[in-house]
Structure 1
Amino acid sequence: MTAIILPMLLLAAGCSQDEPTKVDKAVAALVPGAPPGGSEAALANGAPASDIREKNDLIEFAYAYPAEAAQIPELARFLDADRQVKHSALVAAAERDRAASAKGGFPYHAHSHLQKWLLVTNTPRFLSLSAEIGTYAGGAHGMTSFDTLLWDRNKGARLKPVDLFSSPEAFDAAIREDFCDRIKQAKAAKGIQTADEPGSPFAECPPVSAQTVWVGSSDGRYLDRMTIAIAPYEIGPFAEGSYKINMPITSALVRVVKPEFARDFLPVN
């Protein structure tokens, strides 16, 4: 498979309003007006989905996003930059590990980063995307993590679903009881009893705002549902795997939505 050449950047650690992140800098470095997805995704009749793959003795890398995201130039530039940052971080870590394995005389196993953004919903105002990310860095096993992205067409900006609510604390309070009950149900479906005993590392129901939240729509117009994606080790040992807890948008949640977003929600009760 043909290798792709991407600028060497470090992995972004997060977002900051005061200081540009490495993804922000990567976005700024992209040529204005360049087609999203790189040279493999030339614009013709609308931007196509982007799907970049690379596999060799050093790494396995994949990063994809749907056509709905590619058709928003600002969002496509962000995703292309995010891809570049993650590819470069993967290569840098893999090269360090391969050099250490050669020096120590132990086998090297290719590192990987496999990420695919999927369409959750596309309303007149919001494009909602979800991502499941599989990574391997040479340890005993790989890891699964999640990401979320909400594009606000009115603002021309990226948001996190929790940004739609008055505060993370208000969001947690409005959803906590139902969320914790649904975790118990999801564990019971796997034949697992909730670890309520004192001292258990998984006894506490975690705050929803600390998990990955995906918002969706049943009618393509209003936000009325969400899924809470929970990575391994958050509410159970690695062997339990990850969880995806489906939740309705209730009246209690709508009451803590910021006024500027209230008309975009429709409670189910």
Structure 2
Amino acid sequence: MMIRQLATAVLPVLLAAAPASATLDPPLADTPLTEKMTRETDNYTFEYRYPKSLSRDSRLYDYLNQDRKKEYTKFSTDADRDHADAAAIGENGPRLLPYDYQVHWSQEADIPAFISLTQHWYGFYGGAHGIYGTKSWIWNKSQKKMVEPLMLFRSAEAFNQALQTEFCKQLNEQRAEKRGQPVVTDSDDSFDKCITPSGHAIILGSTTGNSFDSIKINVGPYAAGPYVEGDYEIDLSVTKAIMGAVKPAYRENFAIKR
């Protein structure tokens, strides 16, 4: 299960002192055949990588490099500022550990019209542990632009209605497995309630290479359970109901999974 969301906006940088016993999450797993940029200073470590195969499309290659520049500029500026502020306070001020920010792209599916991509991110900004998540994207090959997967559907409401029942069923099954007990569905605890899938990473997949026939919903930490439970990933097949939620212009790019 993926455990890391590069959002287009970096999470707020924490100024709280990190205890000496703070446990940092392990770095993201390395993958072969990647383009990688790494920068390391006394204040931070930054890493950005993506599969080399994506550079075959020059416009996609330009997009990724521009995104890398934007993310590095934002993160390094924040990290340098926070460490300078902490140092200016003196010996009695907060002791900041080096920050860490990692962005890893992966290709989920490649069909004639689109490339389905995921952007996994991990950040440590002080405190007891880092934070991570996943964001999903679709590269439109003909229009040479990045769009969110939800844009291929008629609306968020239509998308949710098409898969909410199965999504909630699988989510509660995974919750029960992690917690060692069934979920109390009428509980007042927000971590027992179901959530709407459209608000999370919608990862489109293909078993044939011709059309999208599967959907994964990645739910990051704190969204469906406490941090200790990690993220959740719900695997769904494209059904007739989901096909009905797709915009007519894109239905030829989807297929019911057999």
- TM-score, normalized by length of structure 2? 0.82
Please report how far the alpha carbon of residue 140 of structure 1 lies from its aligned counterpart in structure 2 after TM superposition: 2.0
Alignment of 1:13-162 (within 5 A): 13=9, 49-102=34-87, 103=89, 104-162=92-150
Partner SS, residue 83 of structure 1: helix
Partner residue in 1 for 2:159: 171
The alignment covers a number of residue pairs equal to 226
Q: Structure 1 residues 253 and 112, CA, compared in 2 at 3 Å: closer, same or farther?
A: same
8 Å CA contact retained: 1:49, 1:70: no
Counterpart secondary structure, 2:194: coil
Alignment partner for residue 201 of structure 1, among 178, 190, 194?
190
The separation in 1 between residues aligned to 2:242 and 2:197, in whole angstroms, is: 12
Compute the RMSD of aligned alpha carbons: 1.9
Residue 13 of structure 1 deviates from its aligned partner by 4.2
Q: Indicate conservation of the 8 Å contact 1:195/1:202, yes or no.
A: no
Structure 2 residue identity aligned to 1:261: Y
Distance 1:13 1:132, change over 3 A: closer
Structure 1 segments unaligned to the other structure (5+ residues): 1-10, 15-47
- Could you tell me whether the CA contact under 8 Å between 2:113 and 2:142 is conserved in 1? yes
1:260 aligns with 2:249: yes
Uncovered stretches (5+) of structure 2, i.e. residues with no partner: 1-6, 11-32
Q: CA deviation at 1:177?
A: 0.3
Report the CA distance between 1:12 and its aligned residue. 5.0
What's the counterpart of residue 26 of structure 2?
none
Conserved 8 A contact 1:90-1:112: no
* TM-fit CA distance, 1:174: 0.4
8 Å Cα contact 1:251-1:268 kept in structure 2: no
Distance in 2 (alpha carbons) for counterparts of 1:241 and 1:230? 9
Deviation string 1:14-63 (CA, Å, 9 cap, x unpaired) is: 9xxxxxxxxxxxxxxxxxxxxxxxxxxxxxxxxx8421112221111111
